[in-house]
Structure 1
């Protein structure tokens, strides 16, 4: 099948290894999903990613702050006590927060620093407060729109990740690019200079053009070349949109890299969308990752 080829990656081919890490975004759609609703296989490493923390005001018409991050996920159902509860019940669970996202209010979320130093200083301060309040473990960078050049983006994110790690605030960081020229220009500038700081690449494969068939792309080969040496995750959107869904052969396509020890993990957007269907794809993803070859 063409789909088998599309997931054949060559990342770290000199020392291939599978990972049993499953990651899922949660909380962006305010549909009352809780951590405890999501099935957690004890034989995988599991990361919830809270979506989103955004450097905008929380007013009815959100506007950019001076890089002060605020909580924009469903904090009523995904609160600090609920973080503590799910982590105490499942020793294999860690929780991160994602920065930025696509939109806020009725407009796009823009990465728009006034300067590198001011953005980093305020971002470190406000994010440290949120991360400690919630007892979180990592961050995910998911800015998708930019009012800054790639080098400025790279410097801001480098300094943010470095300071949070050096201060012991986080233990891992990921990025979430997708196949768009502006997005790739910014994330590749970050990766090429500072990829060693980034633990995981949540590449949004589901964001490829719906009008293009899977067989026209060697998705993993292309992105493993772009983000060479990175732990790139297979991904799908559980709302049925986008390319590369379970209905398009996602799990079949995962078998080849899994057998060749090049499957670094799976992530899903999102638990909010999966809840009406009973999280069937989450169960299937984790079962696949838990199998050793």
Structure 2
């Protein structure tokens, strides 16, 4: 007996859905992202070469919830700007976006240090932290006409559950209010760091668009084969389609662009796993005329 027509239609729908899902999963991305402004080296958006055939995200670094008027804890969700505002101003954001329709600009939260002290995530109250963070960041984002946020806390005094709750609510509220259109996280392979970000990921994966995994936090002696292993490991921790590869401009750690990074990228691209590249940071890249940014974008834009 032949199966009834509705059953055939249902089976056909399953096959089509599976095919589309596999096609989406097996697709490289042309996303390029670059942190800018944290080291106050006078770099401007206009200094950085922008390939028109990539999706380009500048990430202003950093906005930090460090309020010198607060006592005893300065981490109360009241974010302030700690990037080079003289060279990276609201008018310059508007200018670079107007001149390059493929450019979006985000801001990163936290970072490593502020005034030579660790930038801790340490809210005394989740509700007040979220309320203050939504208010202060909305003001900054609207002032600068920004498109998204990146979460780059690297030091914690709050537990993973509190981190997940606060950051998840922050991202969700900013998206619901249409203040931002995307959000990313920037973990690296450290036990405490991973515990916090994986707690956030498991609870809020659906509202996190990109994982700026800091592969440059691995040792400078990292080989291409090890890099691929690291990528596969982190792709299993996070959604593989969202994990971007990365290098650091000053070459002090990780697999560098002069030591095989682009070989690893080409291998991932051949495997349909190259979801994008990000760099830390434009401040240091200025010294070598952004040669690796140019190469990275050319690789991303290439059909092969």
Same fold (TM > 0.5): yes
RCO higher in structure (CA 8 A, sep ≥6): 1
Structure 2 counterpart SS, 1:244: coil
Q: Does 1:141 align with 2:146?
A: no
Aligned to 2:236: 225
In 2: Cα distance, 1:90 partner to 1:71 partner = 24
In 1: Cα distance, 2:300 partner to 2:223 partner = 26
Aligned to 1:82: 92
Structure 1 counterpart SS, 2:258: helix
Structure 1 counterpart SS, 2:151: strand
In 2: Cα distance, 1:42 partner to 1:14 partner = 23
Contact 1:58/1:70 (<8 A) preserved:
no
The Cα offsets for residues 144-175 of structure 1, whole Å up to 9 and x where unpaired, read as: 00011101100001100000000000000000
Q: 2:57 aligns with which of 47, 50, 54?
A: 47
Alignment of 1:185-264 (within 5 A): 185-210=195-220, 213=223, 215-216=225-226, 218-264=229-275
Aligned to 2:302: 291
In 2: Cα distance, 1:281 partner to 1:228 partner = 27
Structure 2 counterpart SS, 1:66: coil
The Cα offsets for residues 23-68 of structure 1, whole Å up to 9 and x where unpaired, read as: 0000000011000000000000000000000001369xx9714210
In 1: Cα distance, 2:134 partner to 2:24 partner = 36
Structure 2 counterpart SS, 1:246: coil
Q: 1:153 aligns with which of 153, 163, 166?
A: 163
Q: 1:180 aligns with which of 190, 215, 218?
A: 190
Given the two structures, how large is their TM-score scaled by the length of structure 1? 0.92
In 2: Cα distance, 1:46 partner to 1:212 partner = 27
Contact 2:213/2:245 (<8 A) preserved:
yes
In 1: Cα distance, 2:147 partner to 2:73 partner = 28
Contact 2:68/2:74 (<8 A) preserved:
no
Contact 1:199/1:230 (<8 A) preserved:
no
Aligned to 1:19: 29
Given the two structures, how large is their TM-score scaled by the length of structure 2? 0.89
The structure with more radius of gyration: 2
Aligned to 1:274: 285
In 2: Cα distance, 1:100 partner to 1:150 partner = 16
Unaligned stretches of 5+ residues in structure 1: 1-11
Provide closer, same or farther for how the CA distance between residues 84 and 202 of structure 1 changes in structure 2, counting only shifts above 3 A: same
Provide closer, same or farther for how the CA distance between residues 216 and 256 of structure 1 changes in structure 2, counting only shifts above 3 A: closer
Structure 2 counterpart SS, 1:117: helix
Relative to its length, the structure with more helix (as a share) is: 2
